[in-house]
Amino acid sequence: MSLKGKSAIITGANKNLGQKTALAFAEEGCDLLVHCHNPKFKKDLDSFAEELKKDYGIKAVSFQGDLTQEAPNKEMFELASSKLGKIDIAINNVGMVLRKPLAEVSLDEYNAMFDINTKAAFLFLREAANKLAENGSVIMLTTSLLAAYTDGYSIYQAAKSGVEFMCKALSKETKKQISFNCISPGPMDTPFLYGQETKERVEFFKTQASAGRLTKVEDIIPIIKFLAKDGHWITGQNIFCSNGFTAPK
């Protein structure tokens, strides 16, 4: 199956995994809505969308918004439908990580973690369930920490694990044969990881992968593509892509 002529929404597409995924999809001829959160990146995102149109001959549109709120989720899906004609694929990179003992987590931190990792996922999934075309694919980024028995990441693990169960239920509830899956990378070489980790722990993480290194965004993109293309029979699953860092039983 090809991505040519398909259309996709990719959130967090101004940097890191989201941006590289957008490039990889554009290279294959997929029309795109690219999203960013912070308004200060909207101009750069507009230029990115223009470059994609010029370089790959695709339709591309940009959207900035806080996806913990209901209205921007609705606007984003409506914009994609109107500008791209239809939505076949929806990929959600929205996330926030916190490494802290649970006894020290403030209520504000807890609320932010659940707003960004869980509520935004719910709002995105609800729009996707209602607006995607028949046989569409929804891919939600979660974390390989969901299979880890560890300290420090309780609120991140708790908030991301809800996404897995929303996908499972949706995979049975869909009347349009939309597949709903999570992808869980291992510790990935982006600033998202380094903000919460010590150098020593990053070195340890490397030893836990059979390749002796961190996950790169380039390791994850082929798996996202597979789910969006030929892997459509997979649904309601969480695919752990961590090179041996963790895996569920």
Stretch that binds ligand NAP, among 9-17, 51-59, 81-89, 103-111 (CB under 6 A): 9-17
Determine if 111 is a binding residue for ligand NAP (CB under 6 A). Answer: no
Provide the minimum distance between the beta carbon of 237 and ligand NAP in the complex, in angstroms, as a whole number.
16
Provide the minimum distance between the beta carbon of 145 and ligand NAP in the complex, in angstroms, as a whole number.
7
Which of 50, 45, 128 has its CA nearest to residue 89?
A: 128
Residues 79-98 that bind ligand NAP (CB under 6 A): 93-96
Provide the minimum distance between the beta carbon of 134 and ligand NAP in the complex, in angstroms, as a whole number.
27
Determine if 45 is a binding residue for ligand NAP (CB under 6 A). Answer: no
Residues 183-202 that bind ligand NAP (CB under 6 A): 185, 187-188, 190, 192-193
Of positions 45, 116, 123, 146, contacts ligand NAP by CB under 6 A: 116
Q: In what order do the strands lie in the sheet with 60-64?
A: 60-64, 31-36, 7-10, 89-92, 137-141, 179-185, 238-241
Provide the minimum distance between the beta carbon of 227 and ligand NAP in the complex, in angstroms, as a whole number.
15
How many Cα atoms sit within 13 Å of 119 on the Cβ side? 14
Determine if 17 is a binding residue for ligand NAP (CB under 6 A). Answer: yes
Residue 172, Cβ density class (10 Å: 0-12 exposed, 13-18 middle, ≥19 buried): exposed
CB-nearer residue toward ligand NAP: 235 or 238: 238
Q: How many residues bind ligand NAP (CB under 6 A)?
A: 24
Alpha carbon of 1 to those of 215, 225, 228, 229: distances in Å? 26, 10, 9, 5
Per-residue burial over 192-229, b if 16 or more Cβ lie within 10 Å, else e, is bbeeebeeeeeeebbebbeeeebbbbebbbebbbbbbb
Determine if 161 is a binding residue for ligand NAP (CB under 6 A). Answer: no
Stretch that binds ligand NAP, among 14-22, 81-89, 146-154, 226-234 (CB under 6 A): 14-22
CB-nearer residue toward ligand NAP: 112 or 133: 112
Provide the minimum distance between the beta carbon of 4 and ligand NAP in the complex, in angstroms, as a whole number.
25
Residue 36: its H or E element: strand 31-36
Q: CA 69 to CA 47: how far, in whole Å?
A: 25
Determine if 141 is a binding residue for ligand NAP (CB under 6 A). Answer: yes
Determine if 122 is a binding residue for ligand NAP (CB under 6 A). Answer: no
Helix then strand then coil, % of the chain, to nearest 5: 50, 15, 35
Determine if 49 is a binding residue for ligand NAP (CB under 6 A). Answer: no
